[in-house]
């Protein structure tokens, strides 16, 4: 029996919004009625689906509001949509401010004459805890809204433990890993540019995918590529955009790499680009999970990443990719060179990466865990 679920996330580019959108799409496919409630249509919500609805949150701008109160407008819309469409549950991605808005919406409906229940689930993604949640000005309300949630999930064991330790919250936090649709993410590129268009002379293709925030250390990506390209003809595809893009662009120019580093900006169909690459570089300072690495693995692209956060839960060093210390550009370049010099090993490891993604993180494995989790939350709050 399908459930009626409201989903709120940051709709722009970023891992949490991607996970929330893909989750909504997968749930809709499985017969649930999904209502996205946000200030813009989630970016990966491109194809219409009869079970998917989108409700925009309008934020009034009065001269008095130096800071328009989005969280209040969101709470109001959450309560309204839940009443209008008889939603059973809200699922918010990223604690701040979404879980606070969901808490308000739950209270608004409970205060109605016939008191209606609207439980909510919060999924923690990473920077909502590691950066924002630990900012003193946000910490008490983040802790409060997590504790008030009817269910809490984290995208890795690392994030679960760190939240329990540093926020000292009293709830159970269940780990439900991020997932990838292994039918869509594969080495079966149909619509995108072919390999020859980016690498016309048979060069190797390395790829980086992120929101170019400082935590991603995008300049390390350029440094690694500089070492690799000195030895092996290759191209680097930089997918995404964000605050550190121009630093990376300048570095590529300074190092004389600008013809081989291709900044593609934000892309809608990342699987088309991943499906033609050989290696993914993810030299982040921290990743609670590292969705980009998982998407690459599903496309038989070997990830070379840092040994931080939840990445060791996703990548098995030496089997489905490589891990190095943060900032160890030489080690990461060394792993890339070893792989690129040996085509047989490169392809074998690419296949091992996909096999690992398929066996542990395919949507067909993870989505039922969310369904089960929702059912338990609904049962508890009925
Ligand atoms: O990585 C970012 O800067 C975006 C951020 C987000 O919330 O959109 O990503 C976090 O959530 C992703 C999806 O669960 C994880 O795969 C990323 O590892 C995590 N980012 C960090 O922990 C830095």
**Unique residue bearing structure tokens 């249509």:** 41
What band does 190 get if pLDDT is binned at 50, 70 and 90?
A: low
What band does 359 get if pLDDT is binned at 50, 70 and 90?
A: very high
Question: What is d(CA 91, CA 121) in angstroms, rounded to the nearest whole number?
Answer: 5
| 19 Cα to the center of ligand 1, angstroms | 10
Q: State which ligand 1 atom lies nearest to the alpha carbon of 93.
A: 7
Is the distance from the beta carbon of residue 97 to the nearest atom of ligand 1 less than 6 Å? Answer: no
Report the pLDDT averaged over residues 21-49. 92
Is the distance from the beta carbon of residue 19 to the nearest atom of ligand 1 less than 6 Å? Answer: yes
Phi and psi, residue 58, nearest 5°: -90, 130
Is pLDDT of 206 > 90?
Answer: yes
**Unique residue bearing structure tokens 């088309």:** 272
Report the pLDDT averaged over residues 179-206. 88
Domain extents in the chain: 4-179+362-381, 195-360
Q: What is the model's pLDDT at position 134?
A: 76
Is the distance from the beta carbon of residue 290 to the nearest atom of ligand 1 less than 6 Å? Answer: yes
The CATH architecture assigned to 4-179+362-381 reads 3-Layer(aba) Sandwich (3.40)
Is pLDDT of 29 > 90?
Answer: yes
**Unique residue bearing structure tokens 């980016």:** 198
Q: How many of the other CB atoms lie within 10 Å of CB of 255?
A: 16
What band does 268 get if pLDDT is binned at 50, 70 and 90?
A: confident
Q: State which ligand 1 atom lies nearest to the alpha carbon of 213.
A: 3
Question: What is d(CA 7, CA 57) in angstroms, rounded to the nearest whole number?
Answer: 13
Site to probe by mutation for ligand 1, drawn from 166, 288, 309 as the one with most ligand atoms within 8 Å of Cβ, is: 288
Q: What is the model's pLDDT at position 189?
A: 67
Q: What is the model's pLDDT at position 32?
A: 98
Going by alpha carbons, the residue nearest to atom 12 of ligand 1 is 15
Question: What percent of the chain is modeled with pLDDT above 70?
Answer: 98
| 124 Cα to the center of ligand 1, angstroms | 10
Q: What is the model's pLDDT at position 47?
A: 78
Which tokens belong to 254? 């300074």
Same fold, 4-179+362-381 and 195-360: yes
**Is the distance from CB of 327 to CB of 307 less than 8 angstroms?**
no
What's the whole-model pTM score?
0.95
Q: What is the model's pLDDT at position 114?
A: 85
What fold, for 195-360? Rossmann fold (3.40.50)
Is the distance from the beta carbon of residue 153 to the nearest atom of ligand 1 less than 6 Å? Answer: no
What band does 43 get if pLDDT is binned at 50, 70 and 90?
A: confident
Give one word for 290, left, alpha or beta, with left for phi > 0 and alpha for psi -120 to 50.
left
| 210 Cα to the center of ligand 1, angstroms | 9
What band does 164 get if pLDDT is binned at 50, 70 and 90?
A: very high
Sheet holding 279-282, edge to edge: 261-265, 234-239, 204-209, 279-282, 302-306, 322-324
Is the distance from the beta carbon of residue 242 to the nearest atom of ligand 1 less than 6 Å? Answer: no
Query: Residues 6 or more apart from 30 whose CB is under 8 A from it?
Result: 2, 367, 371
**Is the distance from CB of 381 to CB of 204 less than 8 angstroms?**
no
Is pLDDT of 13 > 80?
Answer: no
Handedness of CA 372, 374, 380, 382 (dihedral sign): negative
Report the pLDDT averaged over residues 86-109. 97
């Amino acid at each position: 029996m399908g459930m009626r679920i409201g989903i709120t996330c940051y709709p722009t580019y970023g891992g949490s919004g991607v996970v929330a959108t893909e989750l909504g799409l997968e749930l809709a496919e499985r017969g649930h009625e999904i209502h996205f409630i946000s200030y813009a249509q989630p970016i990966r919500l491109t194809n219409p689906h009869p079970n998917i609805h989108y409700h925009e949150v309008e934020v009034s701008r009065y001269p008095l509001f130096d800071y328009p109160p989005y969280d209040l407008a969101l709470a109001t819309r959450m309560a309204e949509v839940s009443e209008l469409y008889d939603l059973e549950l809200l699922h918010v991605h990223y604690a701040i401010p979404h879980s606070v808005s969901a808490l308000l919406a739950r209270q608004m409906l409970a205060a109605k004459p016939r008191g209606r229940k609207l439980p909510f689930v919060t999924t923690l993604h990473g920077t909502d805890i590691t950066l924002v949640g630990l900012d003193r000005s946000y910490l008490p309300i983040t802790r409060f809204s997590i504790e008030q949630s009817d269910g809490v999930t984290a995208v890795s064991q690392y994030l679960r433990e760190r939240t329990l330790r540093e926020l000292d919250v009293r709830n159970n936090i269940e780990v439900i890993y991020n997932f990838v649709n292994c039918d869509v993410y594969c080495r079966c590129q149909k619509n995108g540019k072919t390999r020859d268009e980016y690498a016309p002379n048979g060069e190797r293709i390395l790829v980086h995918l992120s929101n170019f925030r400082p935590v991603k250390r995008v300049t390390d990506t350029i440094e690694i590529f500089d070492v690799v390209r000195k030895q092996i003809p290759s191209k680097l595809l930089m997918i995404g955009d964000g605050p550190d893009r121009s630093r990376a662009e300048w570095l590529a120019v300074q190092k004389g790499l600008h013809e081989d580093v291709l900044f593609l900006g934000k892309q809608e169909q990342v699987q088309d680009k991943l499906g033609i690459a050989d290696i993914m570089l993810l030299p982040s300072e921290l990743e609670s999970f590292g969705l980009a690495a998982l998407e690459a693995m599903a496309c038989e692209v070997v990830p070379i990443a840092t040994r931080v956060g939840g990445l060791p839960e996703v990548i098995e060093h030496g089997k489905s990719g490589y891990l190095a210390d943060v900032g160890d550009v030489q080690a990461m370049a060394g792993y890339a060179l070893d792989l690129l010099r040996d085509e047989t090993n490169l392809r074998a490891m690419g296949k091992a990466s996909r096999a690992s993604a398929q066996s542990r993180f395919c949507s067909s494995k993870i989505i039922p865990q969310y369904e089960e989790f929702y059912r338990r939350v609904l049962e508890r709050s009925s």
